[in-house]
Amino acid sequence: MDFLQQIRKRQKEIKLSNVFNFSPVTNEERNHLIKIYSLLALGTMITALSCYVDIYFLKIPRFVASIVSLICSFALASSCNYSHYNRNSVSTSKKRLFYFAGISSSIGILISDYIAYVNYLNPSILPLAFFGSLSIFSCFSLSAIFSKNRISIFLGAVLCSVCSYVALISFVNFFIRSRFIDTTLLYVGFFMYMGFVLFDTQITLLDFRRGNKDYIMHAICLYLDLVGLFTHLLRILGQKEEKKKNQSEALLKNLEQYSMRKYLCLHASNCLSSSCLVPPNTIYLLNFLGFLNRRLRGIINRNKVGKGRRGRTYCSTVGKSPTKMDYLSQSLAQQIDNELMSEDIGYTIEQLMELAGLSISHIIFKEYNLTKFKKILICCGPGNNGGDGLVAARHLKSFGYDVTVTYPKENNKLLFKRLLQLLQHYKISVLKFITPEEMDEYDLIVDALFGFSFRGEPRKPFDELIRMMNSSKKPIVSVDVPSGTNVDTGLSTDSLSIDCEINISLMLPKEGMRNYKKKHYLGGRFIPDSIVMKYNLKLPSFEGDSSYTQL
């Protein structure tokens, strides 16, 4: 009994804090490190939150984020110097925390585009890069804390030398544009940030022992190291994923071409050998080749040569699509559009516009009650998307709506002049300019400014018109792609993109609409079977004689 009582007495005397006390740091140093890592975690959360908000909710212009980052950096540097020389870090702590929050949020905005791109390549890359960089940072930082041998002086000299060489080579590579040098610098930068984690952690402890208790400045240094590790690891993993995707697509293309040539020859010989009995059935042959293509894609997908893409892609049907249909990239949509109007197919641009405009008007008539949404404003651009809007205006007028068209930049081609002439006979007003007050008088707005051929950023006068449409708070229906949105990525380069409640895709949905969460229709129904078989397209089903279907 005495022995058991002694054991229990010793167990009560054990302090849990001493179990993990492997480091030679004192309690004051430990409390200082806790403040630093807490602020580091807060800055990381602010960066992640600002990145999430910028991608999914509020698109903030990049130049604004850059200006905010520069202003906060200069203000933070000056306030840190002031507190260092005056030995008073408490008086400016609130200001510096505010500046640190500004830097953290602006960094999240600046890296959001690349994060969205990597998320489209492979969504698993993002958590892998984050937790990988976090584990590397933790290991190097803890090893610097627990290490009794201080190598900060020598490590600092080496890192400064490496930074100088990296800056010089980067400047030279700006003119050479060498892929090899760029990849090498990426890996060198990644290892360089590992060294900076060691260096900054040891410098933090040395500064504290010398009397510098400015935990905010120490946290900022480690925060920049963590962000550098994360961005470099993200780029490395993203480049590897891009390379893997390109290889899988090239393999798929070669296998498809080989299989089609092989089976075409085989079935051609079979048809010729039996031609004395049964004429060759070309429809059967084409259907068989389409079936073979689909089976081949399934085999490649099961062997995980490539995975399905989400968000951004260049129209590969490798992998399982979230919906049983294809999404077209900008280049492939343009290619199919040109082929539809070729001599081989025989469509004219007028026919395609009429079919598209008619389906748009039918969808609007289905979704928006004539009594509640009597007045409709159709905003038309100078291209074919605007032509679809002009045709839809005529049909909506025939359905009983009070339609007005705003056409800031008219197309001088004969086709568009005839479409405008038709609107005059339907007594549809065409406005060159419109004010916000005039726009608020309408019940519904149709966005027919830019279609799948749009590139770059909206310019005047369309940028002001897009802002006006978004600020009107009226329901907006977009034709093909919301104006200002990247056709392949679904993202906008700045805040100039239409926030629509319904999107009406034409021909097939574009890649940028893959993650579109609101109501989505497909209109037109004008793709012939020959195009479907040639490109092995997956079309959604249309009911009866309807020219549209809801996706």
Say what the pLDDT of residue 499 is.
84
Mean confidence (pLDDT) of the chain: 78
* pLDDT band at residue 545 under the 50/70/90 scheme: confident
Per cent of the chain over pLDDT 70 is 77
Pull the structure tokens for residue 38. 């807490």
Q: Is the pLDDT confidence value at 270 over 70?
A: no
Q: Which residues are annotated as a binding site?
A: 384-388, 447, 451-457, 480, 483
Q: Is the pLDDT confidence value at 297 over 60?
A: no
Say what the pLDDT of residue 396 is.
92
Burial pattern 229-238, b for ≥16 Cβ within 10 A else e, equals bbbbbbbbbb
Mean per-residue pLDDT for 356-375?
90
Instruction: Say how far residue 298 (Cα) sits from the centre of its chain.
Output: 27
Query: What are the tens digits of pLDDT across the range 515-528?
Result: 888 889 998 788 88
Say what the pLDDT of residue 402 is.
92
Q: What ranges in 400-523 are assigned the alpha helix state H?
A: 414-425, 436-439, 462-471
Q: Is the pLDDT confidence value at 277 over 50?
A: no
Mean per-residue pLDDT for 501-528?
87
Say what the pLDDT of residue 30 is.
84
Mean per-residue pLDDT for 138-163?
76
Q: Is the pLDDT confidence value at 371 over 70?
A: yes
* pLDDT band at residue 240 under the 50/70/90 scheme: confident
Query: What are the tens digits of pLDDT across the range 396-415?
Result: 999 999 999 999 888 888 88
Say what the pLDDT of residue 359 is.
92
Q: Is the pLDDT confidence value at 155 over 60?
A: yes
Say what the pLDDT of residue 401 is.
92
Which of 178-192, 278-292, 329-343, 447-461 shows the lowest per-residue confidence on average (mean pLDDT)? 278-292
Pull the structure tokens for residue 231. 């961005």
Mean per-residue pLDDT for 527-546?
83
What is the chain's alpha carbon radius of gyration, rounded to the nearest angstrom? 31
The rounded distance, in Å, linking the Cα atoms of 332 and 336 is 6
Query: What are the tens digits of pLDDT across the range 338-359?
Result: 888 888 888 888 889 999 999 9
Mean per-residue pLDDT for 95-121?
86
Mean per-residue pLDDT for 102-106?
90
Q: Is the pLDDT confidence value at 151 over 80?
A: no
Q: Which residues are annotated as a binding site for K(+)?
A: 385, 447, 483
Mean per-residue pLDDT for 215-242?
88
Pull the structure tokens for residue 424. 């005059």
Say what the pLDDT of residue 207 is.
82
Say what the pLDDT of residue 442 is.
92
Residues 6 or more apart whose CB falls under 8 angstroms from that of 391 comprise: 353, 354, 356, 357, 358, 360, 419
| Cis geometry, peptide bond prior to residue 461 (ω within 30 degrees of 0) | yes
Say what the pLDDT of residue 376 is.
94
Say what the pLDDT of residue 301 is.
42
Say what the pLDDT of residue 476 is.
92
Say what the pLDDT of residue 183 is.
85
The rounded distance, in Å, linking the Cα atoms of 284 and 361 is 37
Query: What superfamily would CATH give domain 349-531+546-550?
Result: YjeF N-terminal domain (3.40.50.10260)
In contact, 521 and 513? CB cutoff 8 Å: no
* Cβ neighbour number for residue 61 with a 10 Å cutoff: 13
Helix 215-273 to helix 179-209 angle (10° resolution) is 160
Q: Where do the domains of the chain lie?
A: 26-241, 245-334, 349-531+546-550
Pull the structure tokens for residue 126. 């993002």
For β-strands 476-479 and 502-506, DSSP reports them as parallel
Mean per-residue pLDDT for 516-544?
84
Helix 179-209 to helix 125-146 angle (10° resolution) is 40
Mean per-residue pLDDT for 374-401?
91
Per cent of the chain over pLDDT 90 is 13
In contact, 424 and 393? CB cutoff 8 Å: no
Burial pattern 472-482, b for ≥16 Cβ within 10 A else e, equals bebebbbbbbb
Which of 153-167, 447-461, 473-487 shows the lowest per-residue confidence on average (mean pLDDT)? 153-167
pTM: 0.47
Q: Is the pLDDT confidence value at 446 over 90?
A: yes
* pLDDT band at residue 333 under the 50/70/90 scheme: confident
Say what the pLDDT of residue 503 is.
92
Pull the structure tokens for residue 23. 């480091």
Say what the pLDDT of residue 84 is.
62
Say what the pLDDT of residue 131 is.
92
* pLDDT band at residue 8 under the 50/70/90 scheme: low
Q: Is the pLDDT confidence value at 263 over 70?
A: no
Helix 179-209 to helix 27-56 angle (10° resolution) is 140
Query: What are the tens digits of pLDDT across the range 11-57?
Result: 555 554 544 444 567 788 888 888 899 999 999 999 999 988 888 88
Q: Which residues are annotated as a binding site for (6S)-NADPHX?
A: 384-388, 451-457, 480
Mean per-residue pLDDT for 506-535?
85
Closest CA to 239 of 175, 183, 298: 183
In contact, 508 and 476? CB cutoff 8 Å: no
Pull the structure tokens for residue 292. 């073979």
